């Protein structure tokens, strides 16, 4: 039949399933029966005259049956071909619709994927910018720490110089007083502050390094996201009319090392979480540095004020002591003058007693030459002896008083020397305290510099 094996083979190419059974099952032609009709009767020639024309001939029913079979097979072939064409058209339309839906689903999935990538890319970019800004702020705080550490060198130099200058005080002013105790406390405070600032500087440096490390991790992730976004965006722009599309049969498989959406999202989430944690640690460290620098500057200025107050109080005491010493020196000098005058008067009084003594002794000497009985112990003799004794006693008293006065004068002179020496010591101490120490302390840094702002 015309719709036989070739038509079925073509239908087999178009269809993915076996064709439906034919309405009329095909049957083989009947077996040809060749029988010779025998004539019988009186007029029979035994069929010998037409025997050659009757050989290998079909019967009329067979002819009709053969035609009927051909009609039936032609009809069946047409039906099968028509049904095959309908099925092929339906299959083609179904395949086109399926391919279009699959492509639309893929486009939608790519669009959703682009949204996800864009979300995480934006989150990573925001975290990178925040971490970069935070690192900049922390670096500024670190610079403040370095400036504050440098600024502590001047106070320490002032405190040590003050202590060394005060070592040049002379005894008895070389005492361990309140000023020295406060200066020692100031030097110890500055040393402790320097150690604290150095430790905080190391901590800030480590935190900056951690910030940059996590920023780099986020940047690598962000860079991968940008590259992936561009690839998926390029994929989303492909269409059936694109000229740069090719067959890549080997790409239709999953990579063994490929991540899942969950691990993919968790990777970026963890990177952002760790970066956020370091950012919060950096913010807390900046607040701590602010408090440290504020407290350090306040402590230094307060201790400086305490030392200055101790210096001022000690200088007032030195001034008061010096004024009292000068007042006593003035009195001593006046007393020395008076004592020198009385010594001169005593010497003159002793000298003035020499003439009366000579007169009395000369009289007694001359009367000792009275002859014989004239050498009488008369009243005049007694009076002259009494006068000589009185004069001798007066001279002895005057000499004794002169010795006492001279000793007193020497004592006054010693006191004067001691007072003058002590005044010189106090003058030296005042010079050291005011001109050396307090003048040097005027160079003490201001609070802003101690807080690392300058």
Q: What is the pLDDT of residue 239?
A: 87
Q: Reply yes or no on whether the pLDDT at 21 is more than 60.
A: no
Mean pLDDT of 342-353: 92
Q: Reply yes or no on whether the pLDDT at 32 is more than 90.
A: no
Query: How far apart, in whole angstroms, are the C-alpha atoms of residue 444 and residue 302?
Result: 12
CB 400 within 8 A of CB 421: no
Could you confirm whether domain 128-237+261-315 is CATH 1.20.1270?
yes
Query: How far apart, in whole angstroms, are the C-alpha atoms of residue 221 and residue 125?
Result: 10
Q: pLDDT tens for residues 355-392?
A: 998 998 898 899 889 998 888 888 988 998 999 999 99
User: Among 16-25, 209-218, 320-329, 438-447, whose mean pLDDT is lowest?
Assistant: 16-25
Query: How far apart, in whole angstroms, are the C-alpha atoms of residue 51 and residue 55?
Result: 7
Mean pLDDT of 318-331: 94
Q: pLDDT tens for residues 151-194?
A: 999 999 999 999 999 999 898 888 888 999 999 999 999 999 99
CA-closest candidate to residue 103, choices 237, 218, 6: 237
User: Among 20-29, 187-196, 391-400, whose mean pLDDT is lowest?
Assistant: 20-29
Q: pLDDT tens for residues 76-119?
A: 999 999 999 999 999 999 999 999 999 899 899 999 999 999 99
452 pLDDT band, cuts 50/70/90, is confident
Q: What is the pLDDT of residue 248?
A: 81
Residues 6+ apart with CB under 8 A from 245: 238
User: Among 3-7, 170-174, 199-203, whose mean pLDDT is lowest?
Assistant: 3-7
User: Among 2-11, 37-46, 277-286, whose mean pLDDT is lowest?
Assistant: 2-11
User: Mean pLDDT in the chain?
Assistant: 87
Q: Count CB-CB contacts under 10 A for residue 26.
A: 12
15 pLDDT band, cuts 50/70/90, is very low
CB 346 within 8 A of CB 398: yes
Cα-trace Rg, the chain: 69
Domain with CATH 1.20.1270 in the chain: 128-237+261-315
Sign of dihedral through CA atoms 120, 121, 125, 126? Answer: negative
16 pLDDT band, cuts 50/70/90, is very low
Backbone dihedral region of 452: left (phi > 0), alpha (psi from -120 to 50 degrees) or beta? left
Query: How far apart, in whole angstroms, are the C-alpha atoms of residue 278 and residue 284?
Result: 10
């Amino acid at each position: 039949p015309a719709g036989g094996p070739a038509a079925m083979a073509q239908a087999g190419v178009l269809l993915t399933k076996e064709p439906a059974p034919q309405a009329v099952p095909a049957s083989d032609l009947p077996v040809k029966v060749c029988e010779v009709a025998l004539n019988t009767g009186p007029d029979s020639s035994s069929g010998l005259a037409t025997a050659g024309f009757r050989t290998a001939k079909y019967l009329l029913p067979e002819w009709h049956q053969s035609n009927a079979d051909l009609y039936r097979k032609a009809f069946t072939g047409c039906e099968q071909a028509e049904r095959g064409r309908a099925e092929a058209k339906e299959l083609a339309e179904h395949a086109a619709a399926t391919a279009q839906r699959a492509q639309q689903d893929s486009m939608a999935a790519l669009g959703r994927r682009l949204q996800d990538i864009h979300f995480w890319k934006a989150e990573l970019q925001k975290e990178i910018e925040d971490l970069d800004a935070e690192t900049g702020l922390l670096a500024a705080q670190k610079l403040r720490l370095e400036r504050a550490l440098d600024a502590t060198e001047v106070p320490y130099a002032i405190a040590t110089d003050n202590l060394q200058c005060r070592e040049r005080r002379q005894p008895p002013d070389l005492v361990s007083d309140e000023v020295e105790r406060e200066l020692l406390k100031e030097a110890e405070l500055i040393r402790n502050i320097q150690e604290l600032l150095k430790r905080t500087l190391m901590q800030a440096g480590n935190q900056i390094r951690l910030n940059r490390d996590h920023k780099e991790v986020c940047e690598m992730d962000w860079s991968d996201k940008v590259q992936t976004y561009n690839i998926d965006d390029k994929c989303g722009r492909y269409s059936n009319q694109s000229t740069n599309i090719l067959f890549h049969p080997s790409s239709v498989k999953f990579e063994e090392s490929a991540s899942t959406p969950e691990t993919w999202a968790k990777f970026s989430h963890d990177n952002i979480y760790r970066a956020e944690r370091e950012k919060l640690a950096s913010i807390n460290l900046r607040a701590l540095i602010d408090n440290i620098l504020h407290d350090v500057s306040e402590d230094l200025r307060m201790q400086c004020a305490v030392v200055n107050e101790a210096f001022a109080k000690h200088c007032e005491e030195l001034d008061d002591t010096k004024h009292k010493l000068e007042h006593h020196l003035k009195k001593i000098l006046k007393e020395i003058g008076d004592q020198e005058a009385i010594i001169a008067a005593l010497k003159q009084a002793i000298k003035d007693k020499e003439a009366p003594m000579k007169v009395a002794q000369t009289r007694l000497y001359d009367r000792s030459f009275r002859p014989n009985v004239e050498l009488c112990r008369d009243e005049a003799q007694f009076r002259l002896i009494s006068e000589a004794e009185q004069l001798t006693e007066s001279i002895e008293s005057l000499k004794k008083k002169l010795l006492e006065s001279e000793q007193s004068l020497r004592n006054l002179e010693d006191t004067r020397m001691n007072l003058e020496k002590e005044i010189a010591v106090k003058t030296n101490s005042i010079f050291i305290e005011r001109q050396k120490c307090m003048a040097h302390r005027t160079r003490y840094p201001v609070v802003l510099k101690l807080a690392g702002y300058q």
